[in-house]
């Protein structure tokens, strides 16, 4: 297919709801009342001043926590279509302690059309070349060899996407409009 592209796509807070799951988990565990929309910075611990940094980040290193993540609204159908049309790779900077549980959750429970061979674990996503990168982390676009699709999240809302040459999208339907 002539218009078949290499589409790189982030996992956390792009196809699954890490931040929402994390904030809800901490609220449940510690009785805090933080709203996910209030988390407007990459460092989640800033929004839980009554907790230590270790307490805030502990779930990220807990395999059981990763079994709670859910798909982002509207993602499943569009990602499935992108997978059928293009060469799709999930590029994620996941840590080694929970990598297996997280990816198992994604490929077994949430997005069973994805194969393990489509996963690339990379902290420096710029080393992976593709036609597009879909991501909520603004640091992953700088110097990258791809067109950037920034998935709008509270923690990137203050970022000037236009100045950085990115296309900001608010829904997976908008991603479908670009790639399908």
The residue (of 30 and 93) whose beta carbon lies closer to Mg ion is 93
Closest separation in Å from C-beta 12 to Mg ion: 4
**Does 12 contact Mg ion by CB under 5 A?**
yes
**Six-digit token pair at 87?**
């060469």
**Does 136 contact Mg ion by CB under 5 A?**
yes
Which of residues 13, 16, 20, 161 is near Mg ion by CB under 5 A?
A: 13
Are the CB atoms for 107 and 68 separated by under 8 Å?
A: no
Where does this chain touch Mg ion (CB under 5 A) — which range of 35-43, 114-122, 135-143, 164-172?
Answer: 135-143
Which residues face 132 on adjacent strands?
7, 147
User: Given the structure tokens 């890490």, which residue do they identify?
Assistant: 18
The residue (of 52 and 123) whose beta carbon lies closer to Mg ion is 123
Long-range CB contacts for residues 32-37, cutoff 8 Å, separation at least 24: 36/154, 37/154
How far apart are alpha carbons 69 and 76 in whole angstroms? 14
Where does this chain touch Mg ion (CB under 5 A) — which range of 48-56, 113-121, 132-140, 168-176?
Answer: 132-140
Residues within window 54-113 making contact with Mg ion, judged by CB under 5 A: none
**Does 10 contact Mg ion by CB under 5 A?**
yes
How many residues bind Mg ion (CB under 5 A)? The answer is 5
Where does this chain touch Mg ion (CB under 5 A) — which range of 44-52, 98-106, 131-139, 160-168?
Answer: 131-139
How far apart are alpha carbons 169 and 33 in whole angstroms? 28
**Does 20 contact Mg ion by CB under 5 A?**
no
**Does 16 contact Mg ion by CB under 5 A?**
no
The residue (of 10 and 161) whose beta carbon lies closer to Mg ion is 10
Alpha carbons within 13 A on the beta-carbon side of 92: 23
Closest separation in Å from C-beta 136 to Mg ion: 4
By beta carbon distance, the residue nearest Mg ion is: 12
Are the CB atoms for 93 and 125 separated by under 8 Å?
A: yes
The number of angstroms, rounded, from the C-alpha of 12 to the middle of its chain's C-alpha atoms is: 3
Q: What is the CB neighbour count within 10 angstroms for residue 142?
A: 10
How far apart are alpha carbons 36 and 12 in whole angstroms? 14
List contacts with Mg ion (CB under 5 A): 10, 12-13, 136-137
């Amino acid at each position: 297919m002539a218009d078949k592209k290499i589409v790189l796509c982030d996992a956390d807070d792009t196809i699954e709801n890490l931040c929402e799951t994390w904030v809800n988990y901490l609220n449940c565990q510690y009785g805090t009342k933080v709203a996910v929309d209030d988390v407007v910075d990459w460092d989640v611990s800033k929004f839980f001043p009554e907790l230590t940094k270790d307490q805030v980040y502990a779930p990220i290193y807990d395999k059981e926590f990763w079994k709670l993540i859910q798909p982002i609204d509207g993602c499943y159908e569009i990602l499935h279509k992108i997978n059928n049309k293009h060469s799709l790779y999930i590029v994620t900077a996941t840590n080694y302690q929970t990598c297996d549980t997280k990816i198992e959750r994604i490929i077994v429970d949430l997005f069973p059309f994805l194969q393990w061979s489509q996963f690339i674990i990379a902290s420096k996503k710029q080393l992976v070349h593709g036609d597009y990168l879909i991501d909520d982390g603004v640091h992953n676009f700088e110097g990258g060899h791809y067109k950037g699709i920034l998935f709008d999240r509270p923690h990137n809302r203050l970022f000037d996407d236009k100045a950085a040459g990115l296309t900001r999208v608010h829904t997976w339907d908008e991603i479908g409009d670009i790639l399908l």
